[in-house]
């Protein structure tokens, strides 16, 4: 039983850490655009993945205001 629990947790953690870093869209500075968790964008040659929600014009990736973005590698 313990082995089953360990295997299940291992599989879950591997899947939850998996990142799809195929950034096809460029970040757009548009206050009418909202980014959502899981969105992927390119900005200044770097691929970012959103882990939060916010309006584009207030969340430039790679800046202190863009805290919903993490570099996706």
Residue 71: both structure tokens together: 């570099």
Grouping H, G, I as helix, E, B as strand and the rest as coil, residue 24 is coil
Kindly compute the dihedral angle of the four CA atoms of residues 20, 36, 65, 31, in this order, to the nearest 10 degrees: 130
Give the count of beta carbons closer than 10 Å to the beta carbon of residue 17. Answer: 7
pTM over 0.75: no
Summarised one tens digit per residue, pLDDT across range 44-64 is: 999 999 999 998 887 889 888
* Among candidate residues 34, 37, 38, the one with its CA nearest the CA of residue 55: 34
Give whichever of 12-21, 32-41, 56-65 has the largest mean pLDDT: 32-41
Q: State how far the Cα of 68 lies from the Cα of 54, in Å rounded to an integer.
A: 8
Average predicted confidence (pLDDT) for the chain: 79
- Domain of 50, in residue numbers: 20-71
In a domain, 3, yes or no: no
In a domain, 15, yes or no: no
What percent of the chain is modeled with pLDDT above 90? 51
- Domains in the chain, number: 1
In a domain, 7, yes or no: no
């Amino acid at each position: 039983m313990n082995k089953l629990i360990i295997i299940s947790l291992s599989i879950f953690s591997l899947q939850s850490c998996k990142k799809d870093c195929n950034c096809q869209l460029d970040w757009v500075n548009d206050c009418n655009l909202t980014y959502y968790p899981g969105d992927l964008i390119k900005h200044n040659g770097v691929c970012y993945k959103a882990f939060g929600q916010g309006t584009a014009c207030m969340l430039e990736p790679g800046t202190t205001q863009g805290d919903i973005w993490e570099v996706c590698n």
